[in-house]
């Protein structure tokens, strides 16, 4: 089964590019940019990646982002992630970036987006990995900061497909961002939001009703609300679930408690993703294996996660067809 999973074609829809910053690259960039970091070795960084909740993770996540200064840094970060995608047979990826994390440090929005986009373009040309870019608003910041960020994004509409909402869910309701999401949708952006990870199922409902999201990031708490669960199934609203992240951040004590397989079998359009893989101990293949180790799954069910992700992706129906064909061909041959 591990061999089957390793070569299974995959699609990732929930990946924070800043969260793919491996300790080795963090050290390399800190040295290159003469940035002081509070660690003396790769091992010390890895030891610090022992979180007890979302906030304790975010604290070190933002600290790590300080080493990203120049366009080349964002290129190197993204390229390193794409090489992981290639090794994991990821055909298509839709990645988040957090411009406010960088603009607050005096890094130009253009610097960030150009570095990431240059790597994604090269990834398409050299690795045959297609991609889309999603700009997230940080929900612990205010609405005004989100509007400034949206205005900065308008010059890059050719590179950014959607807006999202991430950072600490507790104490930062989606209502705060209803107007900026409406404006973004008016400008032609698609929309997604983190909801129902640490927060209750009502946050998922609010994201759907107030932010008009096309898909829900995480969303595992939906099972608390049977009517909401029925709505997700009936309307085929995708959930981008991140299994290793959920156990690392103690949303679930362990993978056997995770509800992702239950959601799949209920008919929810649920997908497997890696979230912040450098911090949570695994990229796409690792997440698939972790789920399969904890829950007996058929090969068809494992492939269904990819099929769901293809349907949930922000590419055209025409672009989806070869990805679906490749996945179904692989299942048939194995």
- Among the listed residues 71, 94, 197, 198, the single catalytic one is 197
Q: Specify whether the CB–CB gap between 194 and 212 falls below 8 A.
A: no
Segments forming the whole domain that contains residue 67: 2-333
Q: Is 301 a catalytic residue?
A: no
What's the pLDDT score for residue 56? 76
What's the pLDDT score for residue 205? 98
Give the global pTM. Answer: 0.96
What's the pLDDT score for residue 133? 98
Tens digit of pLDDT per residue, the chain (334 long)? 999 999 999 999 999 999 999 988 998 999 999 998 888 888 888 787 777 777 777 777 777 889 999 999 999 999 999 999 999 999 999 999 999 999 999 999 999 999 999 999 999 999 999 999 999 999 999 999 999 999 999 999 999 999 999 998 989 999 999 999 999 999 999 999 999 999 999 999 999 999 999 999 999 999 999 999 999 999 999 999 999 999 998 999 999 999 999 999 999 999 999 999 998 889 999 999 999 999 999 999 999 999 999 999 999 999 999 999 999 999 999 9
Q: Which CATH number covers residue 160?
A: 3.20.20.140
What's the pLDDT score for residue 67? 94
Number of structural domains (the chain) is: 1
What's the pLDDT score for residue 148? 98
Q: At how many degrees (to 10) do helices 226-234 and 201-210 cross? A: 40
């Amino acid at each position: 089964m591990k061999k089957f999973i390793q070569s299974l074609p995959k699609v990732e829809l929930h990946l924070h590019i800043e969260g793919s910053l491996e300790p080795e690259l963090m050290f390399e960039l800190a040295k290159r940019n003469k940035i002081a970091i509070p660690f003396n070795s790769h091992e010390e960084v890895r030891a610090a990646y022992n979180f007890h909740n979302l906030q304790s993770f975010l604290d070190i996540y933002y600290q790590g982002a300080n080493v990203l200064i120049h366009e080349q840094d964002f290129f190197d970060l993204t390229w390193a992630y794409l090489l992981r995608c290639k090794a994991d047979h990821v055909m298509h990826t839709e990645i988040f970036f957090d411009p406010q994390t960088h603009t607050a440090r005096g890094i130009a929005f253009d610097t960030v987006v150009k570095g990431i986009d240059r790597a994604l373009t090269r990834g398409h040309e050299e690795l045959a990995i297609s991609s889309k870019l999603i700009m997230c608003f940080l929900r612990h910041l205010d609405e005004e900061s989100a509007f400034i960020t949206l205005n900065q994004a308008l010059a890059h509409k050719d590179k950014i497909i959607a807006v999202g909402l991430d950072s600490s869910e507790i104490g930062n309701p989606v209502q705060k961002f209803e107007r900026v999401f409406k404006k973004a949708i008016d400008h032609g952006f698609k929309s997604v939001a983190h909801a129902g990870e640490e927060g209750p199922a009502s946050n998922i409902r609010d994201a759907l009703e107030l932010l008009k999201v096309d898909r829900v990031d995480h969303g595992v708490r939906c099972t608390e609300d049977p009517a909401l669960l029925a709505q997700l199934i009936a309307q085929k609203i995708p959930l981008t679930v991140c299994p290793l992240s959920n156990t690392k951040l103690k949303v679930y004590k362990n993978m056997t408690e995770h509800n992702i397989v239950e959601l799949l079998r209920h008919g929810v359009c649920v997908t497997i993703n890696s979230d912040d893989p450098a911090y949570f101990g695994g990229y796409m293949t690792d997440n698939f294996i972790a789920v399969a180790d904890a829950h007996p799954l058929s090969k068809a069910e494992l492939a269904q996660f990819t099929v769901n992700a293809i349907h949930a992706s922000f590419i055209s129906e025409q672009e989806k067809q070869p990805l679906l064909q490749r996945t179904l061909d692989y299942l048939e041959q194995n």
